[in-house]
Every structure is written in structure tokens, then in C-alpha cells.
Chains A and B, each alone.
Chain A
């Protein structure tokens, strides 16, 4: 004998208990960095603009000297190009690195909590000579800087 009302009641009770627990544990906090799934669509995007729209909902980024970048002017080997970005802009939520001429420009994206310093460094691949774009989201706005890196031997093919 099953009582449909009883079953319904139990399901509802479990669901609300889970929600309350999740909220208490901080799982629903909007600033939790890992809450997001790996951004599949942004990594599949074929242009810098499309990738930014996927990541941020907008590609409107202001060029800013406050986005301080380090990248080589020339890279002999496109397979290993060290780049880094830092900024004094306040309330930085994320940092993205995009290689304009790569088949899929988005290379890396870092979500930060207030405990982290707005800094990111990585070795990335460049298929050919390309502008490398660095995007910083600060106080809900996007700021950008870019640098051309000349590549002698590309790093994305065979």
C-alpha cells in the first residue's frame, strides 16, 4: 500500500533539507569559484569575440594599461610560450588568456576568490604568429591588453 500524498511529502522534505544544507555549506554562494562547469562553448568558440561572449555574456572590454602583461616578442617554439598577467585593478573576479590566431582562441581562464592575488602565469601554445589577448574582469567590467608574439615554429600542429 502506498500513499501518494505521503510519498510526495517525503520527496519535498528531502529536497528542501538538501537546499538548506547546501546554502548552509556555502555551495550556493555566487562567488564560489568552482561552481561553474568547464566552459565548453567558450573553448569551442572560433574567435576572441565569440569566446568572450560565451564566458562573460559580452565582448566589450576596455583597453587598460592597468592590465600588466608579460609575453615574449618572439617565440622560437610556439609549443611553449610563457605568458603572465597581473593588475592593480580592484575586485578581480577572473582572468582570461586568448590567442587570436589559434583555431580555438581561448587558452586559459582563471576564477579568483578575494583570497587570491590577481595574477596568472602559464605556458601556452601558439599555432602561428598572433596577438595574445589578456582579459581581466574587475568590479563587473572587462579590461583588456594584448601583445603580438611572433612565432618561428608553430605549436599546435604535428
Chain B
């Protein structure tokens, strides 16, 4: 699933923004056609790394909105540093993207 990432640096702090195309199904919604519950399908782990070193891990639940937009900040990142975000969901699907700090 598609991912978008962006970094923004100000005052020695670099914001890492990630947008992931993901349904984030709660397991509570009912399919209007079949009248059956749609099974849960949501991202559980989101791992942020800078130059291969893990800096933060987010555990997400079904209450994170569809197509999650998540931001964190890291210290002392320099232009060109490699920022990677990797995710995995409750069905075992995974994705990752790496960009350079702008």
C-alpha cells in the first residue's frame, strides 16, 4: 500500500510525517450489501528509524483513522540522513519507505 513521507526541520528538531494508505477497519462496521461484519484490518506497529537506528515505535489500534497520518519528531537529524518508516498490520501485511532528511 502506498506511503508518503516528508521531513521538516526547525530549531534542531526534525518532524517526520508519514501517510499510509490503509483501511484501518475496526471490525465493527457492517457491509451494507452482505449485512455481514467487515473483519478488522489495521496497522499495529509503526517503526521509525534514522540511519538504521530505531528511534520510536508506535503501537496503533483500530481507533486510528483510515489512511493514518502520523507525525513524530527526532533530535539532531542532518540533511541527507536516511529516515525509514516500516509498518505491519494484524493480517501480517507490511510496508516500508525510506527518504533522506531534506
| Contact status A79-B65, CB under 8 Å | yes
When the two chains form their complex, are residues A125 and B64 in contact, meaning their CB atoms are under 8 A apart? yes
Interface residues on B, range: 35 or more
Which residues on A sit within 8 Å (CB–CB) of B56? Answer: 33, 110-113, 116
Contact, CB under 8 Å: A115 / B29: no
Please give, as numbers and ranges, the residues of chain A lying within 8 Å of B59 by CB-CB distance: 36, 38-39, 43, 108-111
Determine the distance from Cα of A124 to Cα of B62 in the docked complex, in whole angstroms.
9
* Interface contact A33-B57, CB-CB below 8 Å: yes
The number of residues on chain A lying at the interface, defined by a beta carbon within 8 Å of a beta carbon of chain B, is: 39
The one of B44, B71, B73 in contact with A38, judged by C-beta atoms closer than 8 angstroms, is B44
- Please name the residue on chain A nearest to B53 by beta carbon: A115
A155 touching B65, Cβ below 8 Å: yes
Within 8 A of B (CB), among A21-45: 32-34, 36, 38-39, 43
- In the assembled complex, which residues on chain A have CB atoms less than 8 Å from the CB atom of B71? 84, 119-122
Task: Determine the chain B residues whose CB is within 8 A of the CB of A32 once the complex forms.
Answer: 54
Interface 1/0 per residue, B64-102 and A, CB below 8 Å: 111011111111100000000000000000000000000
A110 touches B57 (CB 8 A): yes
Interface contact B61-A106, CB-CB below 8 Å: yes
Partner of A103 from the list B28, B57, B64 (CB cut-off 8 Å) is: B28
Q: Does B13 sit within 8 A of A, measured CB to CB?
A: yes
Question: Do A104 and B57 have beta carbons less than 8 Å apart?
Answer: no
Q: Does B2 contact A (CB under 8 A)?
A: no
A residues near B3, Cβ cutoff 8 Å: none
A136 touches B (CB below 8 Å): no
A115 touches B57 (CB 8 A): no
* A108:B60 contact, CB within 8 angstroms: yes
For the complex, what is the distance from the CA of A106 to the CA of B72, rounded to whole Å? 18
Q: Mark B38-63, 1 if CB is under 8 A from A, else 0.
A: 00000011011010011111111111
Interface, chain B (partner A; CB < 8 A) = 13, 15, 26, 28-30, 32, 44-45, 47-48, 50, 53-66, 68-76
- By a beta-carbon cutoff of 8 Å, the part of chain A in contact with chain B is 32-34, 36, 38-39, 43, 79-82, 84, 99, 102-104, 106-113, 115-117, 119-126, 155-158
Closest 7 CB pairs of A and B: A117-B73, A107-B63, A121-B71, A123-B65, A33-B57, A38-B44, A119-B73
